[in-house]
Amino acid sequence: MGVSEREAWAKREAMCPHRLVLEHVTSRWGVLVLDALLDRSYRFSELRRQIGRVSKVSEKMLAQTLQTLERDGFVHRDAKPVIPPRVDYSITALGREAAEQVRALARWTDVRMGDVERARAAYDAARESTAL
């Protein structure tokens, strides 16, 4: 991250730090990482494969997401000085709290998706009838 990028990031964070943390936790990859780590620790490549079962993630995006979640205190990175290098990612106590909330929201979405689809159809139908 360049100096100007860091400055822009710092300004955003200072303006609304709560929103920024919420963005990290509820981002496309943040949700999947936290959900996976809630079950167990993973090495980077294992985590990428696990998340890949749901949605394909690039190495760069996964690395950025892990770094962001680590900075926020949700993920712990354990680099072992061995050859070949071994890095394990696990969830922290703070991350566990956030992940449980995210998982509950995901389960709620599964249960209530039919209601959402019906609401969307009703909304679209109402818009179509007023457009004519």
Give per-residue pLDDT as tens, 94-131. Answer: 999 999 999 999 899 989 999 999 999 999 999 988 87
Residue 2, pLDDT > 70, answer no
Q: How confident is the model at residue 6 (pLDDT cuts 50, 70, 90)?
A: confident
pLDDT mean across residues, the chain: 90
- pTM beyond cutoff 0.95: no
Residue 1, pLDDT > 60, answer no
Alpha-carbon distance of 98 to 25, in angstroms, equals 7
Of 9-13, 50-54, 76-80, the one with minimum mean pLDDT is 9-13
Whole-number pLDDT of residue 55: 86
Q: Rounded mean pLDDT of 61-80?
A: 96
Is 26 exposed, middle or buried, given 0-12, 13-18 or 19+ CB atoms closer than 10 A?
middle
